[in-house]
Amino acid sequence: MPLPPNGYITLGIPEFCSGTGLGSTLVRAMLKDGRLQGVRLGKKRLLVVVQSYLDLVAKQQTEGVPEYDGAKKAREVRTANYEARQAAKPGVDLGDLELV
């Protein structure tokens, strides 16, 4: 049974994920890019500040969901690499092949 995030100051990532329904990869990405706040205990233990999640939800309810595209830079690089490969390919004129 999921734990409600209300009433907790911090939760470990597994507990936070089970309480919110978010995946651990997304939670770690949100911690990394600053959408969520975290507290590190020791070398390994990372806790999510629950109030930062509640603030994020409240902000999205009032302002709407922001346009977020974390993969935009990767797509731009991939497109640029594809176009560079296409430009480097030699063009073939079918008339020069003398197939007939």
Q: Give the strand pairing for 45-49 and 38-41.
A: antiparallel
> Are residues 14 and 24 in contact, defined by beta-carbon separation less than 8 angstroms?
yes
Q: What is the dihedral of CA 18, 22, 23, 24, to 10 degrees?
A: -70
> Which pLDDT tens digit goes with each residue over 30-69?
999 999 999 999 888 999 999 999 999 999 899 887 776 7
CA-based nearest residue to 37, from 19, 49, 28, 25: 49
Confidence of residue 1 (pLDDT cuts 50, 70, 90): very low
Full-model pTM: 0.61
DSSP 12: E
